[in-house]
Amino acid sequence: MSSLNASFVQNVSIVHPEYFSITGLSGIPYSSYYYIFLCVTYFITVIGNSAVLLLIALERSLHSPKYIGVFNLALADLGETNAWIPNTMKIFFSDSQYMSYNACLANMFFVNLFVTLQSATLAVLALDRYIAICLPLRYHAIVNNTVMSLVFVVIWAFITSLVALAASLMTRLSFCKTNVVQSYFCDYGPLLQMACNDNSINIFITNVIVALFFVAPLFLIVLSYLGIVFALSKITTWEARLKALKTCVSHLLLVVSFFLPVICIYIASLITSLTLNARIISASLSLSLPPMLNPIIYVLNTAEIRILIKKLLENRIVPIRKNISK
């Protein structure tokens, strides 16, 4: 009976604020210009990734395992951008830095979901390049549209379940000291630091997610490219090596744009204590720039997409010129 009473008292003591206050940038003159920059980034990201999604969906020649991965990456980029930038703009341009408790948890869930999906997709694309270069004769036997689709169904289901668990465990935390989130969205880390009661389970789940979907994918990508470099070293001619390496350029640029900012922020935080504004600017740039750059990188570095865009433009321009000449 005493244990039931203790449990009841513990549950009663859990405090969930009606809303959270998001600090954002503070004490910086002309900070509104940075939010305008994020708006521009948002529109470029939405247009670019939507174009990639439509192009892959409508063009049958792009219905291949590699472009199933690119499609999922564009979808994750679009989801991540929509998960935080519109909310951030709404909060700071309306001078109302408040977000309800449930909206905060939803915001946290979707941002973390799509960021982890980006990382996992980059790892799958690295494996795709490894098999294509190191096992070219067996590529179509190992990788096909069905296998790639099943891989992404499993990844989406597993990540959604794990991130949902992390978000649901936030409801067991009590926020009795403050409701001010020192970030630019409902960031998981600052919220954990605000908890008044035991948050060890939440920290454990956070570490699991980081290990599975940031450390492990980066390790897998590095191993894949070590294998690719080893396979290329066996090729006798430089022309053949460069031809094989060109198929990896787009993916390598995507990996660098995604992981390098995160690694730099982590190293900087170990060397020196970042101010709140520096942490917000660096973290928001690491979230906003890769989704914007990804479709640009694929358009500029992928021959198939460049050729298709050229054909589409020619099909539109030629009839217009004929009508004008008449």
- Examine the pLDDT at 5 and tell me if it is beyond 60: no
Please give the helix or strand (H or E) that residue 180 lies within, else none: strand 180-181
- What does the block give as tokens for 134? 């190191």
Q: Rounded distance, CA 87 to CA 97, Å? A: 10
Q: What is the mean pLDDT of residues 271-280?
A: 90
| DSSP helix/strand/coil, 173 | coil
User: What length is written for the chain?
Assistant: 326
pLDDT digits over 56-65, tens only?
Answer: 998 888 899 9
* 8 A C-beta contact, residue 114 and residue 76: yes
Q: Rounded distance, CA 240 to CA 224, Å? A: 19
From 4-8, 18-22, 64-68, 113-117, the region with the lowest mean pLDDT:
4-8
Q: Rounded distance, CA 237 to CA 235, Å? A: 6
- Examine the pLDDT at 10 and tell me if it is beyond 90: no
- What does the block give as tokens for 144? 């096909």
Contacts of 124 (CB under 8 A, 6+ apart): 69, 148, 151, 152, 155
pLDDT digits over 170-220, tens only?
Answer: 999 999 888 999 999 999 999 999 999 999 999 999 999 999 999 999 999
Give the pLDDT confidence score for residue 7 in this predicted structure: 38
Residue whose tokens read 């499993």: 154
- What does the block give as tokens for 190? 């600052």
Q: How many helical (H) and strand (E) elements, i.e. helices and strands, does the chain have?
A: 12, 3
* 8 A C-beta contact, residue 62 and residue 55: yes
| Gyration radius (Cα) of the chain, Å | 23
* 8 A C-beta contact, residue 30 and residue 191: no
Q: Rounded distance, CA 229 to CA 222, Å? A: 10
Q: What is the mean pLDDT of residues 232-251?
A: 86
Q: What is the mean pLDDT of residues 239-257?
A: 89
Largest CA distance in the chain: 93
Q: Rounded distance, CA 241 to CA 233, Å? A: 8
State CA 138 to chain mean position distance. 31
CATH 1.20.1070.10 corresponds to the domain 18-325: yes
Domain positions in the chain: 18-325
pLDDT digits over 118-175, tens only?
Answer: 999 999 999 999 999 999 999 999 999 999 999 999 999 999 999 999 999 999 999 9
